[in-house]
Amino acid sequence: MVVVVDTVSATPLRPRHPEKVNRPDAFSPPKPDWIRVRAPNTRGYADTRKIVKENGLVTVCEEAGCPNIGECWDKKHATFMIMGDTCTRACAFCNVKTGMPGALDALEPEHVAEATFKLGLAHIVITSVDRDDLADGGAEHFAQTIRAIRARCPATTIEILTPDFLRKDGALEVVAAAKPDVFNHNLETVPSRYLSVRPGARYFHSVRLLQRVKEIDPTIFTKSGIMVGLGEERHEVLQVMDDLRSADVDFLTIGQYLQPTRKHHAVMRYVPPDEFSGYEKVAYTKGFLMVSASPLTRSSHHAGDDFARLQAARAALSG
């Protein structure tokens, strides 16, 4: 049996995922060649790491064990995770630490803005842990962070990747009013897999959240993503595409699920690159402005370049 311990924080006093400790181990097939990535050891990577640490920031790149960290950090592209490193949900796919989080850091919005400035980012991606313990789910903190970045780096475009704010009336409106350039909320998987993959969430609530963002402010780009390899069927992926288009979502990402530890959901299948290309083609025919589908696609991967392409696609559409 494997006990999942915290290897990210400096003081690993408790299991990283206490709710998963007694689960049986789940075994994934060996990784195929197309999943391999380079070890992070470049100068750019080291510089990014220094700025992240100096500002006391948390990144999803590290917390989620993202395979793209070497490539992204080399280009000074990191995704900041606000409101702490501890999540109140316990999704079966996610390596972010679970438990009861601490109080919000009132200075965090300024620190994120400062790091954005120091990294010289043209486009910044901000995500967060789920904060079901807060009355507004952390909506106001998201809004403050957006405003702080706008004040410090007026030319930087801002993309947020939010939780679902389930049962937090008015939270979404607070975040949308801060006018991020891109509002991303991931569906993560097809509806039939929610109970075992994302048990604390509700599929149609997430679709509706994305639809509401567009209703509130049609100028905000909306974005969502799923992982494949979790036991979904192809026709279910196509249905997700239709559901997202019904909600007017602009940008779809599809990437391969990778198992963080044996206590997490097993990889049921490694989807070959040509199947991703097939998904991409179908998604474009369904009307998405942008689609990124590949084994190593992640919501925030190449987000800056993709934002420029999103803008160009919208401009071409409006003639």
Residue ranges binding ligand SF4 (CB under 6 A): 60-61, 66, 68-69, 72, 77-79, 298, 300-301
Closest to ligand SF4 by CB, 126 vs 143, is 126
Residue 16 CB, nearest approach to ligand SF4 (Å): 18
Residue 301 CB, nearest approach to ligand SF4 (Å): 4
Closest to ligand SF4 by CB, 60 vs 115, is 60
Q: Find the helix or strand (DSSP H, E) in which 108 lies.
A: helix 108-119
Closest to ligand SF4 by CB, 16 vs 123, is 123
Contact yes or no for 253/294 (Cβ under 8 A): no
Residue 179 CB, nearest approach to ligand SF4 (Å): 22
3-state SS assignment for residue 215: helix
Cα–chain center distance at 250: 16
Give me the phi and psi of 177, to 5 degrees please.
-65, -20
Residue 76 CB, nearest approach to ligand SF4 (Å): 10
Tokens standing for residue 36:
């391999």
Contact yes or no for 244/202 (Cβ under 8 A): no
Tokens standing for residue 306:
């993709």
Residue 197 CB, nearest approach to ligand SF4 (Å): 19
Closest to ligand SF4 by CB, 190 vs 303, is 303
Residue 112 CB, nearest approach to ligand SF4 (Å): 14
Closest to ligand SF4 by CB, 142 vs 203, is 142
Contact yes or no for 254/292 (Cβ under 8 A): yes
**Residue 149: what residue type?**
I
Closest to ligand SF4 by CB, 171 vs 189, is 189
Closest to ligand SF4 by CB, 86 vs 253, is 253
The span from the CA of 100 to the CA of 108, in Å, is 19
Q: Find the helix or strand (DSSP H, E) in which 237 lies.
A: helix 234-246
Contact yes or no for 290/315 (Cβ under 8 A): no
The span from the CA of 184 to the CA of 3, in Å, is 33
Residue 192 CB, nearest approach to ligand SF4 (Å): 26
